[in-house]
Amino acid sequence: MKTVLTYGTFDLLHYGHIEFLKKAKQMGDFLVVGVSNDKFNEQKGKKAYFPYEKRKAMIEAIRYVDLVIEQTSFEQKREDIIKYNVDILVSSEDWLGQYDYLRELCEVIYLPRTPEISTTKIKEDLKL
């Protein structure tokens, strides 16, 4: 069985998120998704519209996702890769190269974003 791991805030869930998770799931048999908790988002300078528990529930409802875990820091990736016996870590291309140091533990793949949509774009568009 091949296990895939990815992370995100997943605020204002949109079809770009769904496509990303679908592609991640296609790389293996079991998809683990780390959802950033509210405290970690604050540390990153992000403010989510939905609290962690609501975002977690939305991600759990997606058919491609097998397990949702709480992300509390960037550093936990190494621990999660070992704990969940991860074969592939998937991230979006805007983090290109940032997780290459984890290649000693698993394969690292950066996927392109869906170009016409992002949570940031939605927030900006709604300010009209």
Q: Which residues are catalytic?
A: 44, 46
- Given phi > 0 = left and psi -120 to 50 = alpha, else beta, which region is 97? left
What b/e sequence results for 88-113 when a residue is b if at least 16 CB atoms lie within 10 Å of its CB, and e otherwise?
bbbbbeeeeeebeebeeebebbbeee
β-strand pairing of 30-36 with 3-8:
parallel
Q: Are 40 and 69 in contact (CB under 8 A)?
A: no
